[in-house]
Amino acid sequence: MTGVAGAVISGLGVALPPSTVQDDLWEGFFAQHYAGGRHRLARRIFANSGVVTRQAAVSPLLEDVSEWSTERRMRRYQDEAVPLGKAAVSRALADAGLSASELGLFAVCSCTGYATPGLDILLARDLDMSPTVQRLFVGHMGCYAALPGLGATNDFVVARGRPALLLCTELTSLHVQPAGTGAADVQQIVSHALFSDAAAAAVLTSAARSLPGYQVREVVAVTDTTTTGHMTWEVTDLGFRMGLSPEVPAVLSVHVRTLVSDLLARHGLTIGEVDGWAVHPGGPRILDVVRERLGLQESALAASRGVLSAYGNCSSPTVLLVLEALRRAARPPRWVVMLAFGPGLTLYGALLEFAPATR
């Protein structure tokens, strides 16, 4: 077992834009977005996405952004992301019983919008964080960004003994693309069927603090650089364009069991002893591969499939939404393995253990 006492996730907060039924999105917008054979393919992809409802700060039922310039999308990002992030941060701080002025580090993850001053500066100002608060902005890491963010905030708390806050905010609804042809357009259909908007925040405090929560035991990663083209997020004149190879699940299949087994072995654990799985629901096939390779019961991924169904794939906040679902369960698990995947292809994992109040 490793001997370093990690920080404790002592507060979580979630903020969501208005929710929309997946079938309504299809019938009200995307059914008209595609024609001919593409229409039939898109309808099948939407129906098999595993998504029932999802959120959109900029709903295609109200505004068609597919022809908007990147500049226009980025201006709207700032308008929508600031209040959404503020709500998530405020809820996480209240959950942890802390004021914003007590934070030593404020880390923000987002790959769906950029501006300077960014969310880290604007929210630090609006929430009255200390002028001496340190800030970290993590961009363009995609769906796995919450876990390197968690690692950075954990390391800060362990080294400095001061609280830190991680915010993940994504507005994928700003990046609806024009309908096209060819294999690349099929990848756009998949992303249009899956992706959603959300903000999630986590407060990390010293293990010596009294509040109960999940203690970070270790954060790990593996990147297969032979597959860098399998998942991309390119800045274009019409927003950010997703590239998503159908080979992604196969690559995850090669690496996920070794990553998890090695992580657990360092802490004297086996897969069978883990009672909580917070797996990023990148899509139904991703969850199927993780379940098969780790030999899990379907019930182990109930929280992940529930988040996919209710919220869609929200990119970086999603794994925190799954952790929040586990934390709020009637019987919260003792050991939680968090897994998330993204460009690289990169797999990130974290091991958490429930820590009761220290005094």
Residue 143 appears among annotated catalytic residues: yes
Please give the structure tokens belonging to residue 16.
């969501």
Of 109, 111, 143, 168, which one is the catalytic site residue? 143
CA distances from 239 to 65, 145, 170, 235 (A): 9, 20, 14, 6
Element (H, E) at 258: helix 248-265
- End-to-end CA distance of the chain, in Å? 24
Cα-based angle 76, 82, 85 (whole degrees, multiple of 5):
130
Instruction: Give the C-alpha separation, 294 to 292, whole Å.
Output: 6
Instruction: Give the C-alpha separation, 117 to 122, whole Å.
Output: 7
**R_g of the chain computed on alpha carbons:** 20
For the chain, how many helices (H) and strands (E)? 11, 13
Inter-residue contact 289 to 255 (CB < 8 Å): no
Inter-residue contact 312 to 55 (CB < 8 Å): yes
Q: What is the DSSP string of 31-52?
A: HHH--HHHHHHHHHHHHTSS-S
Closest listed residue to residue 186, CA positions, set 23, 346, 34, 70: 34
Closest listed residue to residue 110, CA positions, set 256, 233, 285: 233
What are the catalytic residues? 143
